[in-house]
């Protein structure tokens, strides 16, 4: 197995630290660079010390120096930072795993354009279990296509800045596609006041923010006399990190292209 050299963006954050830990535990991976924003108090520190295992890689704000010694950048930061890193990956011909959510239409287009030149895995959720749920939702929606109301409920920690989550939105997209609906036309994001009777074609989203919830997602199919719930609950961030490393290995066999975790897991 070839060793893949990873650069980690946002290395001092909660997800960044988990990614560092995952890389250090993977025999087929090595930490080549750790990045933080200019002005961060963590600049210059040994990245491994963040997870109790010094490794000699010091946290830097120099994206070009980081990518010069890396095969793949993993980015779970914010859209504006990820797009800057995307441009740097293009300059250095480095593959990119994007776990960031909340992109605008223009941002998504920039990612699609870049993937014509470099390999990019862009997925709303990197966890293998969540991607199994995505497949289950497609099957369930096709079976429960008449007489069932669909609601997507998600919960995350108080620090999450976008809502609904990218995972919840993707769940809605999967169900809408299976039911031959346009999510932009049938989605409702929260309800208040006198809303009237619920249309049968509606797909509702409910968002919870609080505490240290890592990420819970449920899709409810509510029929007459029965309810079917498909749920995924995250107990930690490691599943996302392991999925991201799997995505990095997958791209080692490609010189360009836009992929998601369904591609990585061979589900397409």
Cβ atoms of 159 and 149 closer than 8 Å:
no
CA distance 2 to 215: 33
The distance in angstroms from the start CA to the end CA of the chain is: 25
Nearest Cα residue to 140 out of 107, 184, 175:
175
Cβ atoms of 121 and 264 closer than 8 Å:
yes
Number of continuous H segments (helices) and E segments (strands) in the chain: 9, 12
How many C-beta atoms surround the C-beta of residue 199 within 10 A?
Answer: 9
**Annotated active-site residue in 85, 156, 170, 217:** 156
**Annotated active-site residue in 45, 58, 92, 160:** 160
Question: Alpha carbon of 120 to those of 58, 164, 215, 238, 239: distances in Å?
Answer: 26, 24, 24, 21, 19
How many C-beta atoms surround the C-beta of residue 62 within 10 A?
Answer: 12
Cβ atoms of 31 and 57 closer than 8 Å:
yes
Q: Is 157 tagged catalytic?
A: no
How many C-beta atoms surround the C-beta of residue 139 within 10 A?
Answer: 11
CA distance 119 to 77: 19
Q: Is 108 tagged catalytic?
A: no
Angle at 212 between CA 234 and CA 216, to 5 degrees: 30
Nearest Cα residue to 230 out of 162, 132, 146:
132
Which residues are identified as catalytic? 156, 160
């Amino acid at each position: 197995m070839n060793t893949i050299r990873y650069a980690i963006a946002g290395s001092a954050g909660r997800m960044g630290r988990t990614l560092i830990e995952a890389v250090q535990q993977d025999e087929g991976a090595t930490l080549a660079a750790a990045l933080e924003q200019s002005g961060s108090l963590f600049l210059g520190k040994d990245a491994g010390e963040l997870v109790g295992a010094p490794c000699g890689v010091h946290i830097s704000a120099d994206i070009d120096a980081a990518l010069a010694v890396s095969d793949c950048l993993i980015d779970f930061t914010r859209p504006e930072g990820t797009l800057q890193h995307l441009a740097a990956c293009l300059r250095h011909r480095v593959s990119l795993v994007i776990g960031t959510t909340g992109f605008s239409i223009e941002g998504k287009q920039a990612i699609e354009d870049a993937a014509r030149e470099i390999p990019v895995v862009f997925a709303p959720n990197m966890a293998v279990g969540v991607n199994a749920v995505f497949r289950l939702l497609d099957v369930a929606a096709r079976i429960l296509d008449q007489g069932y109301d669909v609601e997507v409920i998600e919960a995350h920690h108080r620090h999450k800045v976008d809502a609904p989550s990218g995972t919840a939105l993707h769940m809605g997209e999967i169900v809408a596609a299976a039911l031959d609906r346009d999510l932009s036309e049938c989605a409702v994001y929260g309800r208040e006041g006198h809303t009237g009777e619920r249309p049968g074609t509606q797909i509702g989203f409910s968002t919870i923010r609080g505490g240290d919830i890592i990420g819970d997602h449920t899709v409810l199919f509510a029929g007459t006399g029965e309810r079917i719930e498909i749920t995924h609950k995250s107990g930690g961030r490691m599943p996302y990190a392991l999925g991201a490393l799997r995505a990095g290995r997958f791209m080692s066999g490609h010189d360009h292209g836009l992929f998601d975790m369904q591609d990585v897991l061979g589900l397409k």
